[in-house]
C-alpha cells in the first residue's frame, strides 16, 4: 500500500509529460503547412528574407519618397480645412444673433477657458467671476463690510471683486457655486454694517499694484544742443 502511494505522484507526472509531448507533436504537425506558407511569404519563396533591409532592391525613382508622402499628407490636411471653410462655415449664418450689450442689472462677468483638442482638460471646468464694486446694491457701510468679508479677492486698483471655482467637474456647477457665494456675501454684508465701520481694510495683498510708479522728471533731462541737431 505504501509503495503504491509513493509511486502515484511519479506516475502522474509521467502521464502529464506524455500528454504534453503528444499535444505539442500534434500541434506542430497541424501547423506545419501554415508555417511553410508564412516562410514562403517572408522569404519570397527563396532563401532571402524580403523584410531584411540588406536584401531590399535599389530605389529606381519610380515612387515618391517619404518626404514627398509627408508633403502630400500636409496638402490633404490643408485642403480638408479649406473645404470646411468653404462649405461648412457659411451654414453657421443661420445661428447668428445680434449683439446685445449687458444691461445695468447684469453686472456679473464669468470667464471660462476652452482647450482645443483636449475635451477633458483638468482646467476646463474652472470659472472666474468678476464684478465691479460700484455696481453692487450696497450702501457705503454695507460695501465696507462686504470688502472686509471678501478680503484679498478685492482689487482696489480696478475696484472689482474676483473669485474663481474649480471644485466641480461640471462647469455649470461652478457657475452656480460662485453665484450662491456672492449672494451669501451680499446678504451677510447687510446685517448690522455699522458695527464694522471702524475696521480698516487690509490692502497688503495689493500693495505692489498700488505703489506709485517713479518717473524721471523732465527737468532733469540733459539739455539738447539745437546747433548739433541742425548739423546732423
Domain parsing of the chain, residue ranges? 64-95, 109-202
CA dihedral 176, 178, 184, 189 (to 10 degrees): -150
Q: How far is CA 79 from CA 69, 188, 193, in A?
A: 15, 59, 65
What is the CATH code of the structural domain delimited by 109-202?
3.30.160.20
Cβ-based neighbours of 160, under 8 Å, separated by 6 or more: 130, 131, 132, 133, 154
Q: Can you give the pLDDT at residue 58? A: 79
pTM, entire model: 0.53
Q: Can you give the pLDDT at residue 20? A: 54
Mean pLDDT confidence for 195-200: 90
Question: Can you count the helices (H) and strands (E) in the chain?
Answer: 7, 4
Spatial distance between the Cα atoms of 123 and 136, rounded to a whole number of angstroms: 29
pLDDT tens digits for range 168-191: 999 999 999 999 999 999 999 999
Amino acid at each position: 500500500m505504501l509503495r503504491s502511494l509513493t509511486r502515484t505522484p511519479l506516475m502522474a507526472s509521467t502521464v502529464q509529460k506524455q500528454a504534453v509531448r503528444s499535444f505539442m507533436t500534434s500541434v506542430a504537425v497541424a501547423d506545419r503547412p501554415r508555417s511553410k506558407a508564412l516562410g514562403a511569404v517572408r522569404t519570397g519563396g527563396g532563401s532571402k528574407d524580403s523584410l531584411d533591409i540588406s536584401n531590399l532592391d535599389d530605389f529606381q525613382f519610380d515612387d515618391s519618397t517619404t518626404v514627398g508622402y509627408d508633403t502630400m499628407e500636409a496638402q490633404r490636411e490643408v485642403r480638408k480645412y479649406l473645404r470646411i471653410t468653404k462649405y461648412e462655415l457659411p451654414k453657421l449664418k443661420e445661428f447668428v444673433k445680434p449683439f446685445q450689450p449687458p444691461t445695468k442689472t447684469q453686472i456679473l462677468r464669468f470667464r471660462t477657458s476652452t482647450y482645443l483638442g483636449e475635451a477633458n482638460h483638468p482646467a476646463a471646468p474652472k470659472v472666474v467671476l468678476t464684478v465691479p464694486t460700484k455696481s453692487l446694491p450696497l450702501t457705503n457701510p454695507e460695501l465696507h463690510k462686504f470688502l472686509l468679508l471678501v478680503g484679498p479677492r478685492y482689487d482696489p486698483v480696478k475696484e472689482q471683486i474676483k473669485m474663481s471655482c474649480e471644485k466641480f467637474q461640471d462647469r455649470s456647477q461652478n457657475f452656480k457655486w460662485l453665484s450662491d457665494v456672492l449672494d451669501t456675501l451680499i446678504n451677510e454684508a447687510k446685517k448690522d454694517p455699522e458695527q464694522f465701520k471702524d475696521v480698516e481694510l487690509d490692502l497688503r495683498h495689493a500693495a505692489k499694484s498700488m505703489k506709485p510708479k517713479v518717473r524721471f522728471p523732465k527737468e532733469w533731462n540733459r539739455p539738447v544742443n539745437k546747433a548739433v541737431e541742425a548739423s546732423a
